[in-house]
Amino acid sequence: MTSDQSTAIRPTKPGTNYASATVPRHLARGAVGFGALIASLALLPVVGPVSLLLAPVGLVALRGCPMCWAIGLAETLSAGRLRRSCANGRCELTPAKRA
């Protein structure tokens, strides 16, 4: 790839992308994640420490933490909307052309 070639924005390291394929899928992951975390604490007086087994489910659905989910939402919303173009050692972000 040459330095003047336009490319889509990608994470700088493999494995740092928290985005989902679609916004509805990301929102569903958030509902499952936050629901499981809230349920693990809300059900604590009713079923005892067994309810804490829902906490890891929530963290996996959120891909680590609520902030990771929020970053993923921003990445999902902006996916494909920006292009990076580099020329003469200078890079710029520009809106992607709509098809």
Which string of DSSP letters, residue by residue, matches 10-53?
--SSTT-----SSHHHHHHHHHHHHHHHHHHHHTHHHHGGGGGG
Put simply, whether the predicted model's pTM sits higher than 0.85 gets the answer no
Band of residue 40 on the pLDDT scale cut at 50, 70, 90? very high
φ and ψ at 11, to 5 degrees?
Answer: -65, 150
Sheet holding 90-95, edge to edge: 7-8, 82-87, 90-95
Give 51-88 pLDDT, tens digit per residue.
999 999 999 999 888 998 998 898 888 877 777 788 88
Position with higher pLDDT, 68 vs 36: 36
Overall average pLDDT of the 21-36 stretch = 93
- The Cβ-side half-sphere exposure at 83, using a 13 Å CA radius, reads 11
Residue 3 clears pLDDT 70, i.e. is over it: no
Among candidate residues 87, 75, 57, 56, the one with its CA nearest the CA of residue 9: 75
Give the amino acid at 29: R
The lowest-confidence range among 25-34, 44-53, 58-67, 90-99 is 90-99
- Give the separation between CA 61 and CA 59, rounded to whole angstroms: 5
- Residue 2: the pLDDT is 47
- Give the separation between CA 94 and CA 85, rounded to whole angstroms: 8
- Residue 4: the pLDDT is 43
- Residue 59: the pLDDT is 93
